[in-house]
Structure 1
């Protein structure tokens, strides 16, 4: 079911509202640079950008463009999730299959029965990384797959959910590689971004020719928030056990990190991310990534309640988070947010997709931009289901 009001009138109302707000946020200095994109019923209703890349010492800030690539951290988990579901629809992967069926080495240390479903729902029990891991090791695929295969679960798989901030990417990415014979980045291009026509705007690791299109990020309060986490906090203790692994502008601006195939993260444009979610809700220029039945299943609540790592209550589908604050708390919305405030999601009840990338990283009470902009759009697009 789609809206009666379509095309040009949608474009005008949404584009004006979003454009005004984005310009105000950047001109006031509250934001450095933003890209925002909105699709309704498979058509792009707005693609707005303003501001610059982050300010880095000795480098003049570069104006943000529609095709500027912005590293958006865990927003990329939504791309990985989509890739897994596309492979499942093709019969190449089964949710209930043990990961060790595809990747035998992963079955070590009590993980022989851990399934793809456990990985997608963050219930596998292996969110932890070695305390002395370096950024260079983080960027080495074979090293990290060896580390992850040798992890012992902190809890029995399936008995609790706790955010697998980094390990989500290698667990599912190596599973994809074993199945397809393609690196995660190549598989994303083959099965998702290529068919959508955004292969040059959506990446895990950047090819050499695209590194120059990635704008630098800068810190707002995000690094300081990570630094103030108690060392006993599960996220600090397990997911980012040393500062070299913190999801900060310093890490995101490293060329070796940007080039690394890391399916826990993504570098993208807002318009490409919004297009992906639009193609999960319906056709976009004749392309639909998944049938409605598959999306309904994957975006239904799979686990709900206290997250052992994030220490809050969350609803999760198969790989996507549901009803986050920027989504208005609506369980009909599914997607993923990234460290520092980026986000991309779909609203099944409105036929709406929304994506925001930003070049200044903020969190906590200062992280209001995605919620503000999504709230500007939502009233303009009535529910259709």
Structure 2
């Protein structure tokens, strides 16, 4: 059963969502147009035993959909003069400037060009649960390709690098800035670093039945995804509590849509300007476009967010978004004036462009 609100004229979105619940455990979908919530619906179950209904307040980890939110916080820090996108990452973090990484800029690092998508040599997976120690280990890595010569998606390491950049530049953690400066004052249900008080309303995740199709497992792909130590055990209290700006944001579909509204409006959220037009232009500037060395796609990398060249974030190429492991999506479309959040707890094997979200996005755009 589907609950929530759909604006008049958008009933097709509810119909598609209800039909799609057969493929879900639980899910939520939200859309904002010109500052107004036009869709906020949810349904299904928040736990694998199907005893706890998904409600308006159910939150869920959105994995890499977190990255577009984190990129926004970095942009805000840049807008405030706390960091310079064109400066070397090592200018803020000298330890990062090893093995040829001394010249790569912060913007290039945000565009996944640093060459350190993971650890080829074994590590204790619990290292991921100690962000300062993990950041130190990432800084010491030799790049797997010449830095700034190509992009290769950094599924987890990106967040530890970005977190270190923001902490050093701003004197506060990225999750703290998100909470204190954006989500708390604007009433947005999303956080990076989730306190214990929120765990009871967090949905349980169901893992996909098979892995995504990456093609040949090259060293960059192996380091990023295909080792026993490529990620920590997710879902523990410790994993929820720490900040991983690449991977452990928790929120509702509406929370995701509200944060990605900044990408649809040139830096406004709920009618409040959080980023100047100049800052928005820098955030959304293309940093690299080409075949990614980790993802099996041609990717249009902006400054931590993805341009819509593959048309998975609506029909307009001007849209900007990010996808998360298993299917979650957040994007903003400045042409349509629309932002979207889709969250779920049954993960699929699709790397990007999950059919569940595509059907909902298509239904939304057919009504606009």
* TM norm structure 2: 0.90
SS of the residue aligned with 2:107?
A: helix
1:299 and 2:307 equivalent?
no
1:235–1:107: structure 2 CA closer, same or farther, 3 Å change rule?
Answer: closer
- 1:3 corresponds in structure 2 to none
1:36–1:112: structure 2 CA closer, same or farther, 3 Å change rule?
Answer: same
1:46 to 1, 18, 39: 39
1:273 and 2:261 equivalent?
no
1:343 to 320, 329, 342: 329
1:374 and 2:361 equivalent?
yes
Determine which structure has the larger helix proportion and give its number: 1
- 2:14 corresponds in structure 1 to 19
1:205 to 181, 193, 200: 193
Contact 2:107 2:287 in 1 (8 A): no
Q: Displacement of 1:297 after TM fit?
A: 3.7
2:207 to 202, 216, 219: 219
Q: Displacement of 1:268 after TM fit?
A: 1.4
Counterparts of 1:34 and 1:44, CA distance in 2: 17
Q: Considering only aligned residues, what root-mean-square deviation do their CA atoms show, in Å?
A: 2.3
- 1:6 corresponds in structure 2 to none
Counterparts of 2:106 and 2:184, CA distance in 1: 24
Q: Displacement of 1:359 after TM fit?
A: 0.8
Counterparts of 1:235 and 1:22, CA distance in 2: 37
- 2:152 corresponds in structure 1 to 162
1:75 and 2:76 equivalent?
no
1:229–1:376: structure 2 CA closer, same or farther, 3 Å change rule?
Answer: closer
Contact 1:281 1:292 in 2 (8 A): no
Contact 2:108 2:114 in 1 (8 A): yes
Q: How many residues align?
A: 359
Q: Which one is further off, 351-360 or 201-210?
A: 201-210
Structure 1 stretches of 5 or more lacking a match? 1-8
SS of the residue aligned with 2:81?
A: coil
1:261 and 2:261 equivalent?
no
Counterparts of 1:232 and 1:21, CA distance in 2: 36
Contact 1:234 1:310 in 2 (8 A): no
Counterparts of 1:333 and 1:196, CA distance in 2: 23
Q: Displacement of 1:71 after TM fit?
A: 0.7
1:245–1:211: structure 2 CA closer, same or farther, 3 Å change rule?
Answer: farther
- 1:92 corresponds in structure 2 to 82
1:34 and 2:19 equivalent?
no
Contact 1:131 1:241 in 2 (8 A): no
Q: Displacement of 1:151 after TM fit?
A: 1.1
Counterparts of 1:354 and 1:230, CA distance in 2: 30
1:22–1:164: structure 2 CA closer, same or farther, 3 Å change rule?
Answer: same
Contact 2:263 2:334 in 1 (8 A): no
Contact 1:53 1:63 in 2 (8 A): yes
Q: Displacement of 1:294 after TM fit?
A: 2.9
* TM norm structure 1: 0.86
Residues 45-194 of structure 1: pairs in structure 2 closer than 5 A: 45-55=38-48, 60-194=50-184
Q: Displacement of 1:207 after TM fit?
A: 1.0
Q: Displacement of 1:70 after TM fit?
A: 0.6
Counterparts of 1:147 and 1:154, CA distance in 2: 15
Structure 2 stretches of 5 or more lacking a match? none
Counterparts of 2:177 and 2:333, CA distance in 1: 26
Contact 1:299 1:320 in 2 (8 A): yes
Q: Which one is further off, 43-52 or 356-365?
A: 356-365
Counterparts of 1:341 and 1:70, CA distance in 2: 12
1:239 and 2:224 equivalent?
yes
